[in-house]
Amino acid sequence: MCGRVVQASPPDILSLQIVEGRGDPSGDRFRNTPPRYNGAPTQELWVIRQNPATGERSLELLRWGLIPSSSPEKPKKPLINAAAELLTHRAEFAPAYARRRCIVPIDGFYEWKPVEGEKIKQPFCVAMRDGSPFGLAGLWENWKDPATGEWIRTFCVVTTRANAVVRPIHSRMPAILKPADFRRWLGTEEDPRDLLGPFPAEEMIAWPVSTRVNSVKNDDRSLVEQHPEADGTWPRDGNSA
């Protein structure tokens, strides 16, 4: 499960050094987009796509919550995640997986861990140990609203089995792409499923944060700070898991 992300770095950093041509992050639309420390479904977030005809890659704002292009109406609950194991088996995902893959560049993501005897789960922020942004495997779609005629571009995040850092918190995690695999994921190969395994744990770290992240109304830098009253065994990285 992946339901909240951090996209706080400037767009030129979130372009992950693979955006070029007309999609190069410059201009007012990039400068005027605020950083997000609590990016959530239904919001517009930065996504890297590749033009299948020209191979040109661009950084664009798409709405989080996939609406399949074949959907006759806007679903009440858009698809925010797609399990890697089901991409070729579910009609909602198969067309986008074969032809419309994208990368969701982020600085971190949140997962929630049940706490014994407590009703409220403890949120954790998960990121790279060196603080660098990274790319999640995603799918995108173009859907036309039959009521308004408006075209809406949406995306979802592909998930996979948790690695040793995330496993104590949640059984699933977003499928993180290695930089060397970015171009292949965006390319024309129909089934690059070997790219979707758990990311190496030794390169990652997780730490508990405030439950303020539970509300999408809260969106500021303090959300990613370690919660001072948390269990002292955190932060945890792949070398200590």
Q: Write down the pLDDT at residue 162.
A: 97
Tens digits of per-residue pLDDT, 59-81?
Answer: 999 999 999 988 888 878 889 99
Q: Is the pTM of this model over 0.75?
A: yes
- Annotation says 111 is catalytic: yes
- Which one is catalytic: 2, 102, 125, 156? 2
CA 23, 24, 30, 36 dihedral sign is positive
In whole angstroms, give the CA distance from residue 209 to residue 112: 10
Does the pLDDT value for residue 57 go beyond 80? yes
Please compute the mean of the pLDDT values over residues 85-107 and round it to a whole number: 96
DSSP letter, residue 4: -
Q: Write down the pLDDT at residue 241.
A: 47
Tens digits of per-residue pLDDT, 200-227?
Answer: 999 999 999 999 999 999 999 999 999 8
**Contact in structure between 83 and 66 (CB atoms under 8 Å):** no
Domain layout of the chain by residue ranges: 5-116+133-200
- Assigned CATH for 5-116+133-200: 3.90.1680.10
- Which one is catalytic: 92, 102, 111, 156? 111
Q: Write down the pLDDT at residue 22.
A: 52
CA proximity to 162, closest of 132, 206, 98: 206
Residue 12 DSSP SS3: helix
* Mean pLDDT across the chain: 91
* 89 Cα distance to chain centroid: 22
Please compute the mean of the pLDDT values over residues 97-116 and round it to a whole number: 96
In whole angstroms, give the CA distance from residue 79 to residue 82: 7
- Annotation says 2 is catalytic: yes
φ, ψ for residue 184, nearest 5 deg = -65, -40
